[in-house]
Structure formats: C-alpha cells, structure tokens
Chains A and B, each alone.
Chain A
Amino acid sequence: MKTFVCIKYVPDTSEAEVKVNPDGVTVDSSRFSFDINDADNYAVEESVIIKEARGGDITVVSIGPKQSDVMIRMAMAKGCDRAIRVEDDRIAGHDPLMVAKVLAGAIKGQECDLVLTGCMAGDDGHMATGVALAEELGFNHAAMVKKVEVLDGKVKAYRELEGGLMEVVEVALPAVLTIQTGINEPRYAPIRGIREAQKKELKVVNLEDLGLNPEDVGPEASGLVLENLYVPEIESAAEFIEGEPDEKAEKLASILVKGGLL
C-alpha cells in the first residue's frame, strides 16, 4: 500500500486572542503556537495503523515554512517514511483549489494507492482541500471518514453524517479519504524517534520542481479573493419567543425579515 498523507502546519487559536493585522487580510500570529492541524494528526495515525497492518510506505506532503519541519519529523517518528515539503510564497494558500493543485503536483507521477488528509483545517476551516485534491488527481474520494477498512483494491469507508448517521461506502483505489477527528488515538512521537527520523528523506521543493506553473496556482488563477478578516463582535442578545406555534412562527419570520436575513 503506497500512501500519501497531506498535513498542514496551523496556529492554535483555541485560546489565543486573534488580532487582525492593519492590512485587514492577515492575522497577527506572533503570539500563537503552531502545530499539526488536528484532523491531519488523525490522518497520520490512520496511515501508520494501515501500514502496520498491511505493510507499504507512507509519504508526507505539506505546504509550509521551514519551522514546520518539526511537525513533519514527528510524523516520520510515528512511522511515515519520507516527506515532501513545498515552500513557495507564490501559492494562493487561502484558496483550497490552488492548494489542492499544488498537493496533486507533489503526488502525481508517483505510485499511489491511498491519500489521507484531515477533513478540515483548524485555521481556515474550508473542508474543501481533500475533495478538491481527489478531483485534481482523478481519484475517488470519501469525506469525513470515521473508520477505514482496507480491502483488496478498495476501501470501506465509514462516513460521519449529520444527526449521527454513519454512511458506509466502498471506494475503489486509488482514493482520497478525508479523515475526521476521533477515528483513532494519535500516538506520541518520542524525541528519540524524532532524532532517528532525521535520517529519513525530507525533500524541500518549489513550484518549478513540481513542474507547476506559478501562474496556475497563484492569486491570479484563484477565483477566491480574500477581502477582509474581522473578529466577530460579541453580542449577547437572546430573545425567547412565546406563544402558540403559529404565533411563534410569525414572530420569528418578522424578526428574520427585519434583520435582513430573509
């Protein structure tokens, strides 16, 4: 089983105060801690579990700065075999379609049965990169996967749907699975393992190395323009609507109309 696992280096914004820079489109990240995206961490673990059960090898793919090498080495310490890190400022990183094209560029031309990645990134939360990657590669895909069974030439993927439903699909390989958190319990990467992983291959490449034209994955190619970021104002208005169901519906509708939401 030749597996690729795509991971992203993201800030932990769960507790930190988020401040938008004066340019209005970037965030002051100087007080954040950075780490592997949560869902991607589960994807790494799942790839290692599959490798332990069925053999094969795992390649980590990531787009990010040199500081993210520690995250990649941790994945290697857990069992991934090699890595490709794309470092290039010309990528429109805010657009999942552009990101998917770059990730596909790093995977294409190599033997690949399975691609795993997190179902969502903790920073921009698009939930789109994985499925866009499947499209770019021409692979099948299943999103929000909570359980995987690898069969001959296919995988059985258990997809978590709304309302607690589980959809079970069989997907022919090669395929992309976007992994939901909770599918497993990611292991710890001990420091000795991380040191040992320094011996493994970590290729740092740019767009030309991948045979990609910067114009195809840059801001000019992206249909997505990041206009403005802002921290939502905290409001604490709550209104309880009383009355019979008919009256409640009428009152609710009038509130929505008044608020310009309908």
Chain B
Amino acid sequence: MISEIDSFTEKYDLLGCIQCGRCTGGCPVTVRADLNVRRFVYDAYNEEKLEELARLAEIWDCTTCNTCAVRCPKGLKPLEVLLALRSMVVESGKVEPTVRDALQSVLLEGNPWEKPRATRCDWMEGLDVKMAEPGVPVENLFFVCCTIAYDPRLQVIARNMVRILNKLDLDYGFIGTDETCCGSEVRTLGEEGLFEMLIEDNTELLNSFEAKRIVTFSPHCFSVFNTYHPDLKSEVAHYTQLFEELAGENKIPWGGELQKKVVYHDPCYLGKLSGVYDEPRRVLQKIPGVELLEFDRCRERSLCCEGGGGKMWVESNSKKERLAETRIKDARALGADIVAVSCPFCLLTLEDALKGLGLEEEMRVAEIMELLGEVVEE
C-alpha cells in the first residue's frame, strides 16, 4: 500500500500532465456530476492528499468511457488516477454495499450478479449447444458475459447466437459453468487484487481450450482480454467482427427484412477503447431493409451510456438528465425506429432511459444479435 502511494506520481505520469483541460472538456459526466478529472490529476501530485481524495464521492462518477485518455495530447490516462483512488477505498473495505456484494460475488461465484455458478448456463435450456472441450481444437470459442448469461432480458442474445451458429454450421464451442467473470468491472471498481487473480485464472482456463479465436459477446470482456491478458494463446474478437466476416462472405441466410431506420450507438469499450467502429455498422447495413442512421456524436465522439466503470453498481447522486436519456432523445430527433447496440450494459441503460421517457411505443433499443435473430432464416 505504502509503496503504491509512493509511486503514484510515477505510475500515472502525473508530472507529464500540462493541465490543458482537454480531459475535463470532453468528459461526458461533467454535465451531470461534480467530477473534474483534471483537478484530480493535479491534486494527486500531493501524495499526502491521496487519502482525502479517495474519500470524495465523485471518484465513483467516472464511467471509464476513456474519452479523457483519447483526448489527452500527452497520452496520459487521467481516468486511471480515479481508479487508483477507488482502489484505496476497496483496500480499506469501506465500499458501498452494492459494490461489496458485486465484488464478493465475483470471488465466490464467478459473476457480479450474486447468482450461483451452477446456474450460469440455464439460458441454454432447450437449445442444442455445442460445448468446447479442453484440448480439442475449436475454431470459435464463445465467451458469454455474466450479464448476458444471467439477465433474463439479455439471454436472448446468447440464445439467438446459438440458433444462428447452428444454422450456419460453424465450428464453435461454449465454455459452460467454468466460465468466470472477465474482470472488466472488477478492475474499474478498483479491486486490483481480485482483477489480478481473474487474469491468471482466465488465462489458464481459456488457454486450456485449443481455440483459434475467442469470441466475446460483450465489448467489456473483449477489451479486457485484449488489453490485460498478454499470455492468451488465441486471438480475441467481438462477435460483430465475426458476423461482419460472415455477412461479407454472404454466408448469412436472410429469412426476412427489417424495414426500419436504425441508429447505431457505439459502446465505449468497443469503440473508444478498442477502435472497432465499422464492423457493427457493416453488419447492420447487410440486414435487408435497414436504413442506417448516424448520431451527430458517433464513433470517437460517441456519448457514453453510463453503464461502464462499475456504474451498474454505483448510483449517481445527480438528479440531472441521464446521458442515456440524452442519447434516446437524440435518436428520436433523428427519426430512428431502433437504437442498435452491441453491448449488454448499453442495452440495459438505454432501454431504461427509453422506458423512463415513455417512448416504448415509438422506438425500441435492440442488441444487434436480437435483430439478427429476427431476420436470419429459421
């Protein structure tokens, strides 16, 4: 702990900051929270002040959308300072009960939703799912995010995927109940020790399968495997990348059309953190009937939905409009029928916003895999 504090300035290159303010200027949560990330980078020079900074509620407002890092002309990652402060709180044990329970659930059951590990594959019921076996080569090893595996609203994403994979006769395999949280939210909630443990365990688990590539459902798993798992033997892809390939090769048997105006919302972890912007759009464009629209704030400038950075377990005190609501209003102004997403957190936050605004009759929020399920031949 002491040595960590000592190296704080060095670790986050705080002296490299020129206080230009591009981070704060681009930070999407400043419109509804008191968070001023430039101030934290400045104040954190003073190591004696760290404990005090760690007690400030706004360190939990950051959604880790990565805008500050993308915009920093010096290549710093201002958000990491906030995560390090969160880490100090986690080490003291004095975290919000929701955060405590999520982290403890990851340790005990391998998911942050306080669900038994034994029920992780209940979504497979009634489906003919091919399971991967350690040591047996498999082309595509699917990694189902905890949220998709357990949330009844999201399980349709995994179920549609299995139906389509079977239809395409693709070589694939699922992991089963041994699959464990990728740790993306564990990291951003500041539980460094648990995150390190997950990296080791997941590297060992995933390497035990002879997979050509690991295909993730969630951009969060995708980003964390690509960024923090240097010893993975398989390449890691997001499922939209796989489906872009399949659609490009005209391998997807379309059985219907979707005569709708669809606007695509870039998830931060797929876009700003991973640079995957085009593949999801190309998949949507291939769906017969779809007219693809674009938000004014799209791609690198995309507005965060506030679902990342552990925010599923930390409620903001702000009463101001949620960014997800802003996003839905923007989509409505564009005349979109569907807001398409490729991330489970974006789906939940945007759909909540849609319902909150009472627009369910006019528009819908849908995961790309939900839309594919509706138009790929039975």
Bound CA span A31–B115, Å: 10
The DSSP consensus for interface residues of chain B is helix
Chain A contact patch, size range: 20 to 34
Which A positions have Cβ atoms within 8 angstroms of B? 12, 15-16, 30-35, 70, 74, 77-78, 185-195
Q: Which of B92, B114, B194, B197 contacts A33 (CB 8 A)?
A: B114
Bound CA span A189–B103, Å: 9
State the total of A-B contacts with C-beta under 8 angstroms.
Answer: 63
Known: A188-B99, A188-B100, A190-B194. A31 touches B94 (CB 8 A): no
Known: A70-B108, A195-B193. A190 touches B116 (CB 8 A): no
What are 20 of the A-B contact pairs (CB < 8 Å)?
A12-B114, A16-B116, A16-B119, A30-B118, A33-B114, A35-B104, A186-B97, A187-B92, A187-B94, A187-B95, A188-B99, A188-B103, A189-B104, A190-B93, A190-B193, A191-B197, A192-B91, A192-B193, A193-B91, A195-B193
Least CB distance, B313 to chain A, in whole angstroms: 12
Q: Which of B104, B108, B115, B119 contacts A188 (CB 8 A)?
A: B104
Closest to A31 in B: B118
Using an 8 Å CB-CB cutoff, how does the interface string of B104-125 with A read, 1 for contact, 0 for none? 1101110000111111000000
Whether B93 and A188, one on each chain, are in contact in the complex, defined by CB atoms closer than 8 angstroms, is yes
Q: Tell me which residues across on chain B come within 8 A of A74, comparing CB atoms.
A: 104
Q: Tell me which residues across on chain B come within 8 A of A186, comparing CB atoms.
A: 97, 100
Q: Tell me which residues across on chain A come within 8 A of B191, comparing CB atoms.
A: 190-191
Interface residue? B90 (CB, 8 A): yes
Which B positions have Cβ atoms within 8 angstroms of A? 90-95, 97, 99-100, 103-105, 107-109, 114-119, 191-194, 197
Whether A188 and B90, one on each chain, are in contact in the complex, defined by CB atoms closer than 8 angstroms, is yes
The DSSP consensus for interface residues of chain A is mixed
Whether B116 and A31, one on each chain, are in contact in the complex, defined by CB atoms closer than 8 angstroms, is yes
Whether B117 and A33, one on each chain, are in contact in the complex, defined by CB atoms closer than 8 angstroms, is yes
Q: Tell me which residues across on chain B come within 8 A of A12, comparing CB atoms.
A: 114, 116
Whether B116 and A188, one on each chain, are in contact in the complex, defined by CB atoms closer than 8 angstroms, is no
Q: Which of B93, B117, B197 contacts A189 (CB 8 A)?
A: B93
Q: Tell me which residues across on chain B come within 8 A of A188, comparing CB atoms.
A: 90, 93-95, 99-100, 103-104
The 6 closest A-B pairs by CB, nearest first: A187-B93, A191-B193, A188-B100, A33-B116, A192-B193, A31-B118
20 more CB-based (< 8 A) A-B contacts, given A31-B116, A187-B95, A194-B107: A15-B115, A32-B118, A33-B108, A33-B109, A33-B117, A35-B104, A35-B108, A77-B93, A78-B93, A186-B100, A187-B92, A187-B93, A188-B95, A188-B99, A188-B104, A189-B93, A189-B104, A190-B90, A192-B91, A193-B91
